[in-house]
């Protein structure tokens, strides 16, 4: 039996699908308040809705140790994909509780129940990313930096919980995906980029980052979990691309105008402050924060050599964007 946390999210849903396609017995942890819409959408898209009935759902939470103990009973492996992604100040404590304390709980229960192997979905955010070198690799260890977002800090601390577990005898493998492209709730997470372009995205920045298909994230972790690899981490990144390139490709596939106004450093500083003022009076969640504005101006690159040497081949991002743009158009 295999346990997957975060099974109601984009990555977790693909993990469940791909594990079931390999005829694995799977159990998934979900909060009582969670709905299964993303999971059902993913399975339906791949015409595998009949596999949904083979998932054993357990109501629980990574912050609730008794529910974790129940969920891991009889399991040999755990895929830990549950996490909160947020760049707003109001979510910092909640994010630390879910990402850091929750991961610590998963590790502790896995140790107590002698789980044979843990697969953890970390992030490139947990790597040191602000140095003058060519590409970020798995050897770029964390360094405090004022540019690090609260999300990045939470993922770094979460990953440290896994490394602690490794030191205490828990075999584990960690993946650090770049920006994940895939289907899900088009109004949340990285999938929101398709929604923003559809609505008419006018601005682009000079920055860039790494991108990867959610299918690659899922399948690479499963391959690593099925291998003899333990106590290692791997960057999962298909390509390093400018934000403008990605925006343009999505605009082409959605038949929308391309962004044509370049954001300057001055505009960046004005925009996130004005957005903060707007949300202060409206009570809404800001679309742009200081953290996301700074990230939009950074130009980062990530090496995928270690995973490629393992034998994994990534899906080209142009192909991913075309696929998910077609999916988006069927739902709008």
Give residue-wise pLDDT tens across range 158-176: 999 999 999 999 999 999 9
SS (H, E, C) 207-227: CEEEEEEHHHHHHHHHHHHHC
Q: What is residue 294's predicted lDDT score, i.e. its pLDDT?
A: 61
Please report the domains of the chain, with CATH numbers, ordered by start residue: 2-182+212-237+301-315 (3.40.50.720)
> How far apart, in Å, are the Cα atoms of 127 and each of 21, 161, 162, 283?
32, 15, 15, 33
Which residues face 180 on adjacent strands?
212
Question: For 148-160, how does the pLDDT look when each residue is reduced to its tens digit (9 = 90+)?
Answer: 888 889 999 999 9
Pairwise CA distance, residues 75 & 87, whole Å: 34
Mean pLDDT score across all residues of the chain: 88
Q: Is the pLDDT of residue 286 over 80?
A: no
Q: What is residue 265's predicted lDDT score, i.e. its pLDDT?
A: 67
Q: Is the pLDDT of residue 292 over 80?
A: no
pLDDT bucket at 133, cuts 50 / 70 / 90: low
How much is the pTM? Answer: 0.90
Q: What is residue 282's predicted lDDT score, i.e. its pLDDT?
A: 66
Question: For 71-90, how does the pLDDT look when each residue is reduced to its tens digit (9 = 90+)?
Answer: 999 999 999 999 988 777 78
Question: For 24-41, how does the pLDDT look when each residue is reduced to its tens digit (9 = 90+)?
Answer: 999 999 988 888 989 999
Strand 208-213 and strand 179-181: the pairing is: parallel
Pairwise CA distance, residues 81 & 155, whole Å: 12
């Amino acid at each position: 039996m295999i346990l997957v946390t975060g099974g109601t999210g984009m990555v977790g849903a693909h993990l469940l699908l791909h594990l079931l396609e390999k005829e694995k017995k799977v159990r998934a942890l979900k909060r009582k308040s969670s709905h299964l819409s993303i999971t059902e959408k993913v399975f339906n898209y791949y015409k595998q809705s009949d596999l949904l009935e083979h998932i054993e759902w357990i109501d629980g939470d990574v912050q609730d140790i008794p529910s974790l103990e129940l969920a891991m009973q009889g399991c040999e492996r755990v895929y830990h994909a549950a996490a909160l992604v947020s760049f707003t100040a109001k979510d910092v404590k909640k994010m630390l509780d879910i990402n850091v304390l929750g991961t610590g709980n998963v590790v502790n229960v896995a140790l107590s129940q002698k789980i044979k192997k843990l697969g953890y979905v970390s992030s490139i955010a947990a790597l040191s990313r602000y140095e003058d070198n060519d590409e970020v690799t798995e050897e770029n260890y964390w360094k405090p930096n004022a540019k690090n977002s609260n999300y990045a800090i939470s993922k770094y601390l979460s990953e440290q919980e896994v490394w602690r577990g490794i030191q205490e005898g828990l075999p584990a493998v960690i993946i650090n995906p770049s920006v994940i492209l895939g289907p899900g709730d088009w109004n949340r997470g990285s999938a929101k980029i398709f929604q923003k372009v559809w609505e008419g995205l006018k601005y682009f920045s000079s920055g860039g980052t790494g991108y990867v298909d959610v299918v690659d994230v899922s399948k690479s972790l499963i391959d690593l979990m099925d291998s003899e690899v333990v106590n290692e981490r791997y960057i999962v990144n298909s390509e390093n691309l400018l934000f403008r390139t990605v925006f343009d490709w999505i605009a082409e596939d959605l038949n929308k105008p391309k962004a044509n106004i370049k954001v300057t450093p001055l505009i960046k500083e004005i925009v996130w402050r004005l957005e903060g003022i707007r949300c202060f009076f409206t009570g809404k969640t800001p679309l742009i924060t200081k953290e996301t504005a700074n990230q939009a101006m950074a130009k980062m690159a990530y090496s995928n050599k270690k995973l490629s040497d393992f034998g994994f081949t990534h899906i080209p991002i142009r192909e991913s964007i075309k696929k998910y743009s077609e999916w988006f158009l069927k739902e709008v």
